[in-house]
Amino acid sequence: MIGADMRFLIFAMAIGLMALEYGISRLADRDTHDWRESAASFGVALGQTLLRGFEAGVVAVPFAFLYQHRLLDFDQTSLPALAALFIGSEFLYYWQHRASHRIRWMWATHSVHHSTTRFNLTAAIRLGWTGSISGNFLFFLPLALFGFHPFMIAAMLGFNLFYQFFIHTEFVPPLGLLEWVLNTPNHHRVHHASNEACLDRNFGGILIVFDRLFGTFAEPPAEQQLRYGLVGGKPSFNPVKTALGEWAAMLRDLRRAPGAGAKLRSLFGPPGA
């Protein structure tokens, strides 16, 4: 578990990098920030932080149960185990992230992260409040069944999230050969863009290799400026509306849908279906 001193250090580093990025944007006269949107992102992040303890308690139960009935026993800190956990968590994260774009029940949580119209480090902390309701944790349960300790799973997913903070910026150019293996700012800008050619692309966490393997990889579109934000959506500067707005819209569609089939599609079909 991360101690209080380490959490404070990470928080201070993140704030410092956000301030540095903002300063660079002003010096370069780049329109990369909207103070109202950034303030809303901090509000969303505060709500997510307050809910995290409750959410962790809820999802700990199935992980602990499967770990008690694990199929394998091994040294959790050995190099092969850490490598297997890294690859396994990246593989499962890819599918969880892809499902979050294609199943509206999950998109209701994940859309929060895509609701910023500016792509910067403050967008990285805009995370949904309802991940456990959407069922994100279900994708990672096989890791516990195969024998990885829940704390090790949480640490590896935390490392994934920590890495992704740094790729939410427009100020890092393409990184050469690293672009073939890693999810870079260049790739993640495509993921966040609402240009038609960029939708549902580049789902990787730390690695981009699964996107290349499964056909969801895309380079930035030639001769097009990337646009950010939700397709057809209007940005809100209210953190509560930002965090829960898609849930409200989904429930409205559910109420209006004629028949059981349409109601199921409004919940579990692709967003916009």
CA distances from 78 to 148, 154, 156, 180 (A): 12, 17, 14, 27
In the predicted structure, residue 269 carries a pLDDT above the cut 90:
yes
Is 90 exceeded by the pLDDT of residue 201? yes
pLDDT over 80 (residue 273): no
Instruction: Using alpha carbons, select from 63, 87, 72, 111 the residue that is nearest to residue 242.
Output: 111
pLDDT band at 3 (very low <50, low <70, confident <90, very high): low
- Main-chain phi, psi angles of 228, to 5 degrees: -120, 160
Residue 160 has pLDDT above 80, yes or no: yes
52-56, 99-103, 133-137, 190-194: least confident range: 52-56
- Segment holding 164, helix H or strand E: helix 150-165
Contacts of 240 (CB under 8 A, 6+ apart): 47
pLDDT at 214 over 90: yes
Instruction: Quote the tokens at residue 141.
Output: 């349960």
Q: How confident is the model at residue 235 (pLDDT cuts 50, 70, 90)?
A: confident
CB neighbour class for 263 (10 Å; exposed up to 12, middle 13-18, buried from 19): middle
The pLDDT value recorded for residue 31 is: 92
Residue 157's pLDDT band (cuts 50, 70, 90): very high
* Rounded distance between C-alpha atoms, residue 14 and residue 121, angstroms: 8
pLDDT band per the 50, 70, 90 thresholds, residue 252? very high
3-state secondary structure of 46: helix
Q: Are 32 and 123 in contact (CB under 8 A)?
A: no
Contact of 160 with 205, CB cutoff 8 Å: yes
Cβ 265 vs Cβ 257: under 8 Å: yes
Q: Which amino acid belongs to residue 180?
A: W
Cα–Cα distance, 149 to 63 (Å, whole number): 8
The answer to whether residues 29 and 221 touch, using CB atoms and an 8 Å cutoff, is: no
CB 208 within 8 A of CB 181: yes
pLDDT at 89 over 80: yes
Predicted pLDDT of residue 76:
95
Looking at residue 8, its pLDDT comes to 83
Distance CA 66, CA 147 (A): 8
Instruction: Supply the pLDDT for residue 260.
Output: 94
Question: Quick one: CA torsion of 153, 154, 158, 160, rounded to 10 degrees?
Answer: 20
DSSP conformational letter for 117: S
pLDDT digits over 9-49, tens only? Answer: 888 999 999 999 999 999 999 999 999 999 999 999 999 99
